Amino acid sequence: MNQPPPRHQNLVYPSGLSPEELAALLSGEPAYRANQAFAWFSRGATSFESMTNMPQSLRERLSGRFGGSIRSSSVEHSLVDEDGSLKLQIRLRDGAAVECVLLEDIEGRKTACLSSQVGCPMGCAFCKTGTLGFLRNLGPDEIVEQFHHLRDMRGFISNVVFMGMGEPLLNLDNVRKAIAILANPDGIGMSLRKITISTSGIVPGILDLARVGPVVRLAVSLTSANPELRTRLMPVNKTWPLAELKAALLEYQRATHDRVTLEMVLIGNVNARGENALELAEWIRPLRVQVNLIAWNPIAGMPFETPDAGQMKQFSEILERSGIVTVQRMSRGRGVMGACGQLGDTLRAKQ
Ligand code: SAH
Ligand code: SF4
């Protein structure tokens, strides 16, 4: 009776369960109990005992089901950058680890940057996570728990971006489940407009998102509009080349009427030249996009350099002259290696 589940068991922990799944788990109980449990779990309850509007016997039943542990993961390390960014290393129940980051902008708005996979299979040449290889997808519980761990330490979080480790559109089912939980008005109730999925350009995933939703914000890591250069930097371009990606984005815009963000990691003397900007402006037509320019964050051992402020400015001016909305994204979290593409540096030794 009530044996704790083995750690490797493929069990979804409470924060990753939908109201319907909780209703199935609590069959035999009055229907409102599942809603109560969902409210507790999805808002990040840290113990079964704290769920005081539920009878003791029911709390014990739930606790027994999950071996006494409400969460599947725990914070192993936390690092704070001088700009206030917080990076957490999260230990998962099978011993693997991921990282997530809380970024705070100058207005104090907090954004959780969440991972969707352990490692990443896409192998982009400029990205730390890409060097780790791919271990496995994260479950919905492991995704939602990253949010809870960050919120436990920093309080209210207004935005979520799937820009941590991994390719969210290769784990779309679990990313969808996590988003449904975060957006459920009986839980955190986060607006879908404040959630961004960032993809390296997985065309079937973009089309699936266009057809089925949820209508979150979509960001695409383009990096280059030149086929050879993009293939060199992002091998995904061999499988889903620029033309197919553009067709998928047009379809996405037809379906959602939403402006897509193109992320351009600019690497000095590689893809940050004026001619690269002109090629991008040409490629974008007739898409409606916003372009985010991100200076490449240095990673030890990679043969790249960060562009200087002049190169960034020139790049953005060329785009703006073509009528393209361009934002130079501030790099936050660099000091804790928690900035874009730097996730994974603390993990190697431990896995
Ligand atoms: N796999 C998804 C989401 C995670 S990567 C994707 O690729 O979109 C999040 C962002 O970090 C991407 O836009 C990626 O291009 C960027 N990035 C990766 N390495 C970087 C680095 N070293 N410096 C700056 N941005 C980087
Ligand atoms: Fe994976 Fe994104 Fe990094 Fe590419 S940039 S290796 S898709 S995490």
163 CB under 6 A from ligand 1?
A: yes
Ligand 2: residue of 137, 169, 199, 221 to mutate (most ligand atoms within 8 A of CB) is: 221
Per-residue pLDDT tens digits for 40-49: 999 999 999 9
Q: Are 94 and 46 in contact (CB under 8 A)?
A: no
Q: For residue 263, what are its two tokens?
A: 């992320």
221 three-state secondary structure: strand
Instruction: Reply yes or no on whether the pLDDT at 349 is more than 50.
Output: no
Per-residue pLDDT tens digits for 76-128: 999 998 888 999 999 999 999 999 999 998 898 999 999 999 999 999 999 99
**Among all ligands shown, which has an atom nearest to the Cα of 292?**
1
Ligand 1: residue of 117, 126, 240 to mutate (most ligand atoms within 8 A of CB) is: 126
CA distances in angstroms from 165 to 91, 200, 239, 272, 342, listed in the order given:
14, 12, 21, 24, 9
Q: Residue 89 and residue 98: Cα distance in Å, rounded?
A: 6
Q: What mean pLDDT do residues 305-311 have? A: 95
Per-residue pLDDT tens digits for 148-181: 999 999 999 999 999 999 999 999 999 999 999 9
- Grade residue 2 by pLDDT with cuts at 50, 70 and 90: very low
Q: For residue 84, what are its two tokens?
A: 């206030």
Output the CA 16–ligand 1 centroid distance in Å.
26
Output the CA 200–ligand 2 centroid distance in Å.
6
Q: Which amino acid appears at position 312 of this protein?
A: M
Supply the pLDDT for residue 4: 44
What count of other Cβ atoms lies within 10 Å of the Cβ of residue 103?
25
Residue 57: which H helix or E strand, with range? Answer: helix 56-65
Contacts of 298 (CB under 8 A, 6+ apart): 304, 305, 306
Domains and CATH numbers, the chain: 14-65 (1.10.150), 74-336 (3.20.20.70)
- Grade residue 346 by pLDDT with cuts at 50, 70 and 90: low
Model-level pTM?
0.94
Instruction: Reply yes or no on whether the pLDDT at 9 is more than 90.
Output: no
Q: What mean pLDDT do residues 138-149 have? A: 98
Q: Residue 59 and residue 50: Cα distance in Å, rounded?
A: 9
Indicate the DSSP class of residue 334. G
Instruction: Reply yes or no on whether the pLDDT at 271 is more than 70.
Output: yes
Instruction: Reply yes or no on whether the pLDDT at 255 is more than 80.
Output: yes
